[in-house]
Structure 1
Amino acid sequence: MTTQRYVSCILCQRASVVRRIATIRSLSVAANPQSKPDFLKGEPHKRHPGLTHLKTLRLPEELLMAARSIIHRSQVAQLPDRARKLTNFLWSRKRATEDSAVRKMAVSLEKELWEKAMEKGGDLDEQAIADRIQRRVLSELRRTFYHWTPLKYDEELGAVYMAAKMAGGYAAVRRALNEIKKRDPTFAPQSLLDFGSGLGTVAWASHACWSDTLNELVCVDRSGPMNILAERLLKGDDEHAETHIKHVYFRQFLPVSPKHNSQTEKFSYLIMTRERRRPPEADALVDWSRLIAPPQPRTRHVHCHLCRPNGRLDHVVVTAHKHGRDVYRCARSSEWGDQLPLVQDN
């Protein structure tokens, strides 16, 4: 009996504390009334206007069947292992160093080594010193800079690349084009130039978005075998068949004139236009900030790395208490690359 009375007393005290907290919060809201921005526009949090990611995409059936036929005919040995190794190599590959940066460091090193040699004094064999300095500079440059070499695609390596990267590349392009359509629904391109076209996935993705208006697609890739492979994909691996997408032209140089498996692809994109476009009308109380890293949901808060409209990079910890329930739920439903609404403080 004593235990029951003790437990009931504790529960009563807790209920009293909760009521007091609720009363204090209601009084605080009443004392500081603020207009609540309607950034959701009637949509649920899982489909808030800042979301830009697409659902898991599938390759067009014609493209998938052509790729399977080409892989079957090529009979590449150990294709899954080679595809995995190529993917890892491409991800680990670094950007080529500019020649100007290499020359600048070489000149600086050579000057520093000559000064040290001169400080030693004595009889100097300039030719021997020059040879030694040259070997030292070359050794230091090899150690410091990434040794970048171009990949030369032949028919076999092209098939390996197709197995490794075609699905992810297609999905990445569709995501970028979807961003354009969402920002400007009236945009209807008539021509397209794809520089570094590879397998032609940009042509397939753009055709899926603007098949009614696109009437010329120019694909430029320095690899002749890759251009041939891309054209085989367009023809369904049948050289006598018509291309699935009309008016696609392949060049090695810029023209003078005009059970399904899923894959996640990381990519960057930049959308530019020559025209001056009026930015969409925005709520003065809401900042739509871009997620530049995967949000990290935790218990009752979400870590978000954001690029703000003014260009500033911020790490924001979103909570329901600080930012509001709607913003918090939007943060938990967002992914890398989406826009997150942050309500400005009055």
Structure 2
Amino acid sequence: MIVSKLNFIPARGCAVGMSFSRMMATKVKAVGLLDESLTLEASKDSFTGKAHPGKVYSAVADLPNPLQRAIDKVCQDENKKVLFTEGEKLARLLKDRFEPGKSTEKRKWKPTEYTKTKCLSYMLSRMPAEFSAVDRAFVELSKWAPNFVPRTLYDFGSGVGSVPWAAISRWSKQLEEIHCIDSSKDMVNLAELLLKGGEAGGKFHVPQTYFRQLMSPTVNRTFDLVVSAHTLFEFPSLEARLDAHINLWRKTKDYYVLVELGTREGFKLIDEAKEFILFQSKKEGQEMHILAPCPHSLACPRLLREGDRSPCNFESRYYKLWPESKGEASKERFSFVILGKGRRKSPSPSWPRMVRAPMVRSGHVICSLCTPEGKLEDVTFTKSKDGRASFLCARYSDWGDLVPVSLRQKEFDVRDKVKKENISENSDDAQKSEHENVAADEGRPLVN
């Protein structure tokens, strides 16, 4: 915003030497300061910032060996190439059903009918990606609630069983009971077969594993961990989704985890669920908290930001089942939220989260951060202005990490000087040119 501007036209016949200067309004810029809890550690010469406490450490999520063996048994008499190709087509259809892209045609919701072949195709093409996204959410749960160990799991919309397998790979010794709900009978049969090691007469990895096609509306019992992953798109209406959230939240004893595609529509469904449960809890006087990824309980600044329609999503990595990845990991973008009942059981640092991949440049790094104040800030970290430790932490943070800094606002006065110009006597051309420039600066039409 221009604070002052010299904008007059000299009278005809006057010889004037003039200079125009624009004084910009004071700008406020976010500057990162290393969290005080890390000051001692950061003072050491060995501090590199590569292993700071805000890192999530998201490695490639490979399917557990028992699951891979079960998949091989199930597909041994099938053509994997055909199954995979059909699965990719099915995944694109499911996505395009809700995101028509450039098409303006309104697409009506239709339920997806899963046959046995479609279930196998979906398993081969989508299970590694969905497993990696759920596993990445569980990494956050384990990191920010380290004392939480679920003994009972309720998986709504279990599909081919990505959620139970992700839970087994992380808490296998502690899990005592798993409940899987899916409306498709063929999906239930396939997930049950996989959890039995690919043998129809085999035993479940967790003995007390149960499958049902309908969710019981009663709330006679609760579960330590309730998960709904890649399911919200299957609801025909907003009312149906909100009704499911109420029932699932009532079944939650400790944490409710939601995972969806990292598209614009997928993110909106996650934010819709978060805002609705926050509203309901406040209305009923029930305490709750957001464990991840939001560092606040306010409205999402990405949705409030004018002109910014990009989703708040993150990346997980996985290996494809077919064709073989040959050591190269694929990437899956997803959106998620972890909602906890009651007060936070373990202290969590009030650090901003990196919501985009950092832009590393020579001598500085630019980070897009979601702050505890519910704002999006693009912060540039340099050694000279922010300190060596803060710079190193930002430099080695990845998309999705918490950056262990506290942001403060610093004011900058910016002046933009325009080169001095001489207007000669009786110069009609010079006067006309200056008149046009001033009119353009003020955004008004040129009047002769």
Q: Report the CA distance between 1:66 and its aligned residue.
A: 0.9
Larger Cα-atom Rg:
1
Q: Report the CA distance between 1:176 and its aligned residue.
A: 1.1
Give 3-state SS (helix, strand or coil) of 1:82's partner: helix
- Does residue 45 (structure 1) correspond to residue 49 (structure 2)? The answer is yes
Aligned match for 2:71, one of 42, 67, 72: 67
Match of 1:225 in 2: 186
User: C-alpha distance in 2, partners of 1:50/1:231?
Assistant: 37
User: C-alpha distance in 1, partners of 2:394/2:150?
Assistant: 34
In the superposition, relative to structure 1, how do residues 88 and 321 fare at CA in structure 2: closer, same or farther (>3 Å)? farther
Match of 1:267 in 2: 334
* Structure 1 segment 64-143 matched on structure 2, within 5 A: 64-75=68-79, 78-94=82-98, 143=104
- Between structures 1 and 2, the one with greater strand share: 2
In the superposition, relative to structure 1, how do residues 144 and 313 fare at CA in structure 2: closer, same or farther (>3 Å)? farther
Q: Structure 1 residues 231-240 or 271-280, which shifts more?
A: 271-280
Once the two structures are aligned, what percentage of the paired residues are identical? 34
- Does residue 310 (structure 1) correspond to residue 373 (structure 2)? The answer is yes
- Between structures 1 and 2, the one with greater helix share: 1
- Does residue 297 (structure 1) correspond to residue 383 (structure 2)? The answer is no
Give 3-state SS (helix, strand or coil) of 2:139's partner: helix
In the superposition, relative to structure 1, how do residues 146 and 305 fare at CA in structure 2: closer, same or farther (>3 Å)? farther
Aligned residues of 1:290 and 1:340 also touching (Cα < 8 A) = yes
In the superposition, relative to structure 1, how do residues 153 and 58 fare at CA in structure 2: closer, same or farther (>3 Å)? same
Residue correspondences, number: 264
Aligned residues of 1:218 and 1:248 also touching (Cα < 8 A) = yes
Give 3-state SS (helix, strand or coil) of 2:339's partner: coil
Q: Report the CA distance between 1:330 and its aligned residue.
A: 2.1
Match of 1:135 in 2: none
In the superposition, relative to structure 1, how do residues 281 and 261 fare at CA in structure 2: closer, same or farther (>3 Å)? closer
* Structure 1 segment 132-171 matched on structure 2, within 5 A: 143=104, 145-171=106-132
Structure 2-normalised TM-score?
0.53
User: C-alpha distance in 2, partners of 1:228/1:278?
Assistant: 38
In the superposition, relative to structure 1, how do residues 243 and 260 fare at CA in structure 2: closer, same or farther (>3 Å)? farther
- The gaps in structure 2 that reach 5 residues or longer are 1-32, 222-325, 410-448
Amino acid in structure 1 at the alignment position of 2:125: A
Match of 1:194 in 2: 155
User: C-alpha distance in 1, partners of 2:374/2:344?
Assistant: 19
Q: Report the CA distance between 1:79 and its aligned residue.
A: 3.0
Amino acid in structure 2 at the alignment position of 1:68: D
Aligned residues of 1:323 and 1:343 also touching (Cα < 8 A) = no
Amino acid in structure 1 at the alignment position of 2:352: S
User: C-alpha distance in 2, partners of 1:326/1:95?
Assistant: 43
Q: Report the CA distance between 1:196 and its aligned residue.
A: 0.9
Q: Report the CA distance between 1:337 and its aligned residue.
A: 1.3
Match of 1:120 in 2: none
Match of 2:176 in 1: 215
Give 3-state SS (helix, strand or coil) of 2:169's partner: helix
Give 3-state SS (helix, strand or coil) of 1:39's partner: helix
Amino acid in structure 2 at the alignment position of 1:82: E
Give 3-state SS (helix, strand or coil) of 2:404's partner: strand
Aligned match for 1:321, one of 384, 396, 399: 384
User: C-alpha distance in 1, partners of 2:34/2:372?
Assistant: 22
Match of 1:57 in 2: 61
User: C-alpha distance in 2, partners of 1:217/1:268?
Assistant: 24
User: C-alpha distance in 2, partners of 1:168/1:333?
Assistant: 25
Q: Structure 1 residues 250-259 or 222-231, which shifts more?
A: 250-259
User: C-alpha distance in 2, partners of 1:35/1:217?
Assistant: 42
User: C-alpha distance in 2, partners of 1:253/1:281?
Assistant: 37
In the superposition, relative to structure 1, how do residues 277 and 38 fare at CA in structure 2: closer, same or farther (>3 Å)? closer
Q: Report the CA distance between 1:162 and its aligned residue.
A: 0.9
| 1:29-50 CA distance string (max 9 Å, x none) | xxxxx99835374664121111
User: C-alpha distance in 1, partners of 2:86/2:66?
Assistant: 25
Aligned match for 2:211, one of 250, 256, 260: 250
Aligned match for 2:393, one of 330, 339, 346: 330
In the superposition, relative to structure 1, how do residues 50 and 90 fare at CA in structure 2: closer, same or farther (>3 Å)? farther
In the superposition, relative to structure 1, how do residues 49 and 80 fare at CA in structure 2: closer, same or farther (>3 Å)? same
Aligned residues of 1:296 and 1:302 also touching (Cα < 8 A) = yes
Amino acid in structure 2 at the alignment position of 1:215: E
In the superposition, relative to structure 1, how do residues 345 and 276 fare at CA in structure 2: closer, same or farther (>3 Å)? closer
* Structure 1 segment 25-40 matched on structure 2, within 5 A: 37-39=36-38
Aligned residues of 2:196 and 2:203 also touching (Cα < 8 A) = yes
Give 3-state SS (helix, strand or coil) of 1:78's partner: helix
Give 3-state SS (helix, strand or coil) of 2:210's partner: strand
Structure 1-normalised TM-score?
0.68
User: C-alpha distance in 2, partners of 1:288/1:331?
Assistant: 12
